[in-house]
Structure 1
Amino acid sequence: MQNIVLVGFMGTGKSTVATLLAERLGWNKVDLDTSIEEAEGASIPQLFTEKGEPYFRQAETAALRRELEGRTGQIIATGGGAVLAEANRAIMLANGLVVALTANVETILSRVQNDPNRPLLQGNAQKSVPELLEKRKHAYDFAPAKIDTSDKSVEQIVEEVIRLLGAK
């Protein structure tokens, strides 16, 4: 048994897929953002506002280590930017099957544009989503597996991840 680490841009379905996948496999689901909030005693938007993105990224690396190293049978739903640090990518690859979830711009916008808990989208999501996607277009390339979630149900995505796990 190993871990499954779901990475991808915001709105690609990481949390939703992780919940059903954990149910199906009987594994623990860990939402990395929730883990960070519990450890820091503050919400993600608060951390960004009060301590800044660099501080948040350090807390993210600490949470990845805490949740992955020496553990198995976990489904980890990461935040969209967790892949930006080389250290984070190394932790993920060393401790689980990393699956990148992708989606097209329209799908992402329909899923995230009205979510107040997304600090990087405050203002104009129509403008910032395509810009961020462009900036991060290669950020998920390190993942050995990729699934486009744009036109798939959560059940279909979960089945694909389970097939990938069996093939590993």
Structure 2
Amino acid sequence: MNIILMGYMASGKSIIGQKLAQILDWQFIDLDEVIEEKESLSVTDIFNTKGEIFFRKVENQCLSEVLINSNKSVIALGGGTPCYGNNINLITKNNNVTSIYLSVGIAELTKRLFHDKANRPLVAHISNLDDMAEFVGKHLFERLSHYNQADIVLNANSDVDTIVKTILLELF
């Protein structure tokens, strides 16, 4: 079995995934890191030099490979991964996967993203909190239909330890 964590940028997928994998003694896989290793470029550099369409093609290839080659892994997806190509079907139709949507409110996402925007190509250009909130709200609305296809939808507005405990209770 694999656990897939999906959700918007800055929803905590990587930090929660690392902690969950550590507790379960499973492998942790960050899909963005797999892509960066494959392309020998950061996600930001891939977006800037090769474009989003190229990135999404590589993302789909990497997701397919990870799902085929992994077991007992916690996999953190990029925020857009479930929303492009056939990625959501690769996730939801896979009997070896339990998917979890980490749902975080717009206000909290806005705050987290504004402080980390330099590392986030999709929001790096946004210069104030109001514009960030507007972008996040619209973007999240567009992605919700994909995220809500997860096996488990979890409110992830609390601290990491609480979220990890809740996931463990849901799964086991």
Query: What runs of 5+ residues in structure 1 fail to find an aligned partner?
Result: none
Of the candidates 138, 145, 152, which is equivalent to residue 131 of structure 1?
138
Could you tell me whether the CA contact under 8 Å between 2:30 and 2:75 is conserved in 1? yes
Which residue of 2 is the match for residue 154 of structure 1? 160
Give the aligned residue type for 2:2: N
Which residue of 2 is the match for residue 107 of structure 1? 108
Could you tell me whether the CA contact under 8 Å between 2:8 and 2:140 is conserved in 1? yes
Take 1:131 and 1:54, find their aligned partners in 2: how far apart are those partners? 21
Take 2:5 and 2:144, find their aligned partners in 1: how far apart are those partners? 16
The residue correspondences of 1:4-83 to structure 2 (distance < 5 A) are 4-83=3-82
Take 1:10 and 1:70, find their aligned partners in 2: how far apart are those partners? 25
- TM-score normalised by L of structure 2: 0.90
Q: What count of residue pairs does the alignment treat as equivalent? A: 164
Query: What runs of 5+ residues in structure 2 fail to find an aligned partner?
Result: 127-131
Over the aligned positions, Cα root-mean-square deviation in angstroms equals 1.3
Take 1:114 and 1:144, find their aligned partners in 2: how far apart are those partners? 30
Could you tell me whether the CA contact under 8 Å between 2:10 and 2:109 is conserved in 1? yes
Take 1:37 and 1:60, find their aligned partners in 2: how far apart are those partners? 10
Take 1:103 and 1:75, find their aligned partners in 2: how far apart are those partners? 19
Identity within the alignment, %: 32
